[in-house]
Structure 1
Amino acid sequence: MPPGITTLAADAPTLSAANTGFMLICSALVMIMTPGLAFFYGGMVRVKSTLNMLMMSFISLGIVTILWVLYGFSLAFGTDIGSFIGWSSDFAGLSGIGITQLWDGYTIPVYVFAVFQVMFAIITPALISGALADRVKFTSWALFVTLWVTVVYFPVAHWVWGAGGWLFELGVIDFAGGTAVHINAGAAALGVILVIGKRVGFKKDPMRPHSLPLVMLGAGLLWFGWFGFNAGSWLGNDDGVGAVMFVNTQVATAAAMLAWLGYEKLRHGSFTTLGAASGAVAGLVAITPSGGAISPLGAIAVGAIAGVLCAMAVGLKYKFGYDDSLDVVGVHLVGGVAGSLLIGFFATGGVQSDAKGLFYGGGLDQLGKQAVGVFAVLAYSLVVSAVLAFLLDKTIGMRVDEDDEISGIDQVEHAETAYDFSGAGGGAAPRTTGSAPVSDSTAAAQTKKVDA
């Protein structure tokens, strides 16, 4: 991600129709990732939780968009205050921005930059929801999203991408969100599940995905949208960096999927569709911070390493007893950490910046900077997210009742079910009297007479 700029420069370059159109398309691609995530997560849960899982992602589209307009954009990308947060009255409510004003140093309007960035803000809390499947009140979740983006995401986005943000000034490389999005969401997920506890039946009852085709559809939409997520984060492609990021996104994702499947075959004896989908997402996560700093060969290495590490990490919840329902910690936290730290080894110094990693003669300097960024975001998000969950749990309650969890959160929270099985198979065969078919209305009338 290029520097976040806090003011609108008078000598801003001329608007580029090509870059503006490109960024609007990228914004739409990032937006489709949130429904894609909903399908990905929705297929991984049991039937009785499908709609709730979909809604936990979709509600973020509503809540975060409004907060972003009111104050989120200003907090994340406004004038720096103490290297921790930003603020600009022009950005609050998007009320002081002219439609032709450009984002400083770039050839796109401020409005385009703002709408691109809101898509990142939307999907980040949605990522957390996968760890909380089956057991969280929808109202409590909506309030958690509101509080979390305000006190966690907006400040962290400023640290990483805002001019004056302390991690940006330190020189931490995060092209498109390894720290601000994935480590942030993964650490938050861990903090919340440590507070709210395990699902009823964890490690006892089968909790297999109810629809692997839905999982694969969601993974495909995520992969597709991620090209906008990553390549668009250079805010144009006049110098070819966005094109390198596009290529590295494809390469690392492919490598991670193959590595996950290879590990799975050696460890468990099978190549699974869930493994293919999860491996692809692990690769997408790992290349997000690193893809603008490494070569395609480096992208293969980053993807393969992340694929194996994340495949190993998803089993830790059974060893340590934390119930990360859909492996948000194992994939997003571990993948984000891996991708961010590997910059310190594989950065070539010839793409996004001149920073070089250990394998390219840069020593340990960049690795040290990356480590500071990784663990600062991890610690802040983990602690603050746990505190928010604790406060909500002690006031309005975070979890549904145990009986409601067992019977199904969809019906309890949404008064709906994902599937209507009454018409399965194309409808009931026509009822007959003798050899003549009897219509539904006739059958109903006959039933009435019998009841009478």
Structure 2
Amino acid sequence: MKKLILLGLLGGLSPMAFADLADWVQPMSVLQGGDTTWVIVSAILVLFMTIPGLALFYAGMVRKKNVLATMMQSFAVCCLIAILWMCFGYSLAFTPNNGFLGGTERFFLSGLNVFTERSELTVYPGAGTIPESVFVIFQMAFAIIAGAIITGAFAERMKFSALLWFVGLWSVFIYVPTAHWVWGMDGWLASDGVLDYAGGTVIHINAGVAGLVAALMIGKRVGYGREVITPHNLVLTLIGTAMLWIGWFGFNAGSALAADGRAGMALATTQIAATSAALTWVLIEVLCKHKPSALGLASGAVAGLVGITPAAGFVSVQSALIIGVVTSAVCFVGATKLKYWFKYDDTLDAFGIHGIGGIVGAVLTGVFVSTDISGTDTTLWIQIESVLITIAFSGIGSFIILKIIDKTIGLRVDYDEERQGLDLVLHGERVE
């Protein structure tokens, strides 16, 4: 089926003709119970990464007066993006139209899972063995965690209303087009040969850069650099790390969209990269004359998981080991040195780990891609090109969105409100 779809694209079919081709191919698709089950489980695992995984991971690193507000951000983003994905996001990201943006045929998920005489269920052309509804929710979970990652960069100081406006607009105008470029059947970066197995570019670079722009525009936290600001509860962060780690197997292995050898390889490379990166971060701490820390172990593991994401189904386990080590080392510099050198307040290292880790992983995908494993190849320049394009698009687009919000409702809470804490000021609740 994929070959027929690709032939149609290469032959220059119009969107209407492409739709007819996809409809004609659907009866040839055979839904597989194993594939469907695995992708359903993977979708649940990816959603589990955000709620409660990322929510706990972030909540443990902020101060006690902001812990509920920080968790609230992840849950609220989950709800908001789910609705936006249903209304517009999925259709604009994954239906065929042109190389830059998808079509409108699936707005509000119209036509999804329609039983007809010619087809049992609708399927996405790139995943013919699972129902389209499963693919929609799997990709929805990706869009959700992309939006939630951003919140770590400006934790403890952004208005709740501004957060929802920013993440909602960013998801529709920045995330959705990027997803279409890289993962859409007719996406222009995909046609150029860019490889992004599970979201190193689409999710981590995209979100990390948006977070950095937001942190720069909002400014530093009150007291940052002058007062000691310590994490509220690193136990929560370690629990969140464990949830992210386990959920990441759905993130990467689930991106095979089938229960097959590619999923198995992604599973293996994900584990090796995470473990090597965690140990690398701790080793660097020791070499720098520090004690091996729980926060360092957690940060290293997440850095390795980010780094392997674009490469998981394209490289060997030996390459995954190297990717984990290199990504962890570079992210260590990003999280512990870079933001102090350039004097910006990336609160929970959304850019330092996700942005920088995504950049390293995307570039190393071009270095280590194996044609024997992936069945395809790319060049290092193509991968670098995709990184630069994503940085520019997300950076400029995020700046414009944030500027509009700042000029209308404002981005940041007042000085006294920030001192009091966002839990009470924004939500009327607090942790005793």
Shift of 1:98: 2.5
1:17 matches 2:38: no
1:255 matches 2:269: no
1:73 is matched with: 90
Is the contact between residue 203 and residue 318 of structure 1 (CA under 8 Å) also seen in structure 2?
no
Instruction: Give percent identity, aligned residues only.
Output: 43
Shift of 1:67: 0.7
1:32 is matched with: 48
Partner amino acid, structure 1, of 2:273: A
1:148 is matched with: 170
1:435 is matched with: none
Is the contact between residue 79 and residue 88 of structure 1 (CA under 8 Å) also seen in structure 2?
no
Is the contact between residue 34 and residue 259 of structure 2 (CA under 8 Å) also seen in structure 1?
no
Residues in 2 aligned to 1:137 and 1:165: alpha-carbon distance in whole angstroms: 35
Larger Rg belongs to? 1
Is the contact between residue 16 and residue 108 of structure 1 (CA under 8 Å) also seen in structure 2?
yes
Is the contact between residue 302 and residue 342 of structure 1 (CA under 8 Å) also seen in structure 2?
yes
Residues in 1 aligned to 2:416 and 2:310: alpha-carbon distance in whole angstroms: 42
Residues in 1 aligned to 2:166 and 2:399: alpha-carbon distance in whole angstroms: 11
Partner amino acid, structure 2, of 1:147: L
Task: State which of 361, 383, 392 in structure 2 corresponds to 1:370.
Answer: 383
Shift of 1:306: 0.5
2:236 is matched with: 214
Is the contact between residue 281 and residue 332 of structure 2 (CA under 8 Å) also seen in structure 1?
yes
Alignment of 1:136-215 (within 5 A): 136-215=158-237
Instruction: Tell me the SS of whatever aligns to 2:288.
Output: helix
Shift of 1:157: 0.5
Shift of 1:9: 3.9
Residues in 1 aligned to 2:340 and 2:113: alpha-carbon distance in whole angstroms: 53
2:139 is matched with: 117
Instruction: Tell me the SS of whatever aligns to 1:290.
Output: coil
The C-alpha deviation readout for 1:11-61, integer Å capped at 9, x for no partner, is 332111111111111000001000200100000000011011101111111
The C-alpha deviation readout for 1:199-233, integer Å capped at 9, x for no partner, is 11111111111101000000000001000010010
Alignment of 1:409-448 (within 5 A): 409-417=422-430, 419-420=431-432
1:267 is matched with: 288
Partner amino acid, structure 1, of 2:110: S
Residues in 1 aligned to 2:294 and 2:75: alpha-carbon distance in whole angstroms: 25
Is the contact between residue 264 and residue 271 of structure 1 (CA under 8 Å) also seen in structure 2?
yes
Residues in 2 aligned to 1:405 and 1:223: alpha-carbon distance in whole angstroms: 32
Is the contact between residue 42 and residue 138 of structure 2 (CA under 8 Å) also seen in structure 1?
yes
1:241 matches 2:262: yes
1:407 is matched with: 420
Residues in 2 aligned to 1:371 and 1:125: alpha-carbon distance in whole angstroms: 23
* Greater Cα offset, 172-181 or 160-169: 160-169
The C-alpha deviation readout for 1:132-185, integer Å capped at 9, x for no partner, is 111000011011111111110111100110012111111000000000000000
Is the contact between residue 264 and residue 311 of structure 1 (CA under 8 Å) also seen in structure 2?
no
2:60 is matched with: 43
1:325 is matched with: 347
Partner amino acid, structure 2, of 1:78: T
- Going from structure 1 to structure 2, the CA distance change for 1:381 and 1:251 (only over 3 Å counts) comes to same
Q: Which has the higher helix share?
A: 2
Partner amino acid, structure 2, of 1:19: D
* Greater Cα offset, 389-398 or 5-14: 5-14
* Greater Cα offset, 97-106 or 296-305: 97-106
Is the contact between residue 248 and residue 291 of structure 1 (CA under 8 Å) also seen in structure 2?
yes
Partner amino acid, structure 1, of 2:428: A
Residues in 1 aligned to 2:107 and 2:210: alpha-carbon distance in whole angstroms: 26
Shift of 1:80: 2.4
Residues in 1 aligned to 2:89 and 2:386: alpha-carbon distance in whole angstroms: 22
2:129 is matched with: 107
Is the contact between residue 299 and residue 353 of structure 2 (CA under 8 Å) also seen in structure 1?
yes
Is the contact between residue 80 and residue 165 of structure 1 (CA under 8 Å) also seen in structure 2?
no
1:294 matches 2:309: no
Residues in 1 aligned to 2:23 and 2:367: alpha-carbon distance in whole angstroms: 36
Is the contact between residue 59 and residue 237 of structure 2 (CA under 8 Å) also seen in structure 1?
yes
Instruction: Tell me the SS of whatever aligns to 2:327.
Output: helix
Superposition TM-score, scaled by structure 1 size? 0.88
Residues in 1 aligned to 2:426 and 2:113: alpha-carbon distance in whole angstroms: 42
1:448 is matched with: none
Is the contact between residue 80 and residue 162 of structure 1 (CA under 8 Å) also seen in structure 2?
no
Instruction: Tell me the SS of whatever aligns to 2:198.
Output: coil
Task: State which of 23, 35, 53 in structure 1 corresponds to 2:70.
Answer: 53
Task: State which of 92, 111, 132 in structure 2 corresponds to 1:96.
Answer: 111
Instruction: Tell me the SS of whatever aligns to 1:86.
Output: coil
1:132 is matched with: 154
Residues in 1 aligned to 2:231 and 2:380: alpha-carbon distance in whole angstroms: 38
Shift of 1:293: 1.2
Taking only aligned residues, the RMSD between alpha carbons, in angstroms, comes to: 1.5
Is the contact between residue 176 and residue 288 of structure 1 (CA under 8 Å) also seen in structure 2?
yes
Partner amino acid, structure 2, of 1:281: V
1:431 is matched with: none
Instruction: Tell me the SS of whatever aligns to 1:80.
Output: coil
Instruction: Tell me the SS of whatever aligns to 1:350.
Output: helix
The C-alpha deviation readout for 1:414-433, integer Å capped at 9, x for no partner, is 1000x22xxxxxxxxxxxxx
Partner amino acid, structure 2, of 1:132: F
Is the contact between residue 69 and residue 94 of structure 1 (CA under 8 Å) also seen in structure 2?
yes
Pairs aligned (count): 406
Is the contact between residue 162 and residue 168 of structure 1 (CA under 8 Å) also seen in structure 2?
yes
The C-alpha deviation readout for 1:309-366, integer Å capped at 9, x for no partner, is 10111121111111100111110011000000001211121112331xxxxxxxxx61
Task: State which of 397, 405, 421 in structure 2 corresponds to 1:384.
Answer: 397
Residues in 2 aligned to 1:303 and 1:267: alpha-carbon distance in whole angstroms: 19
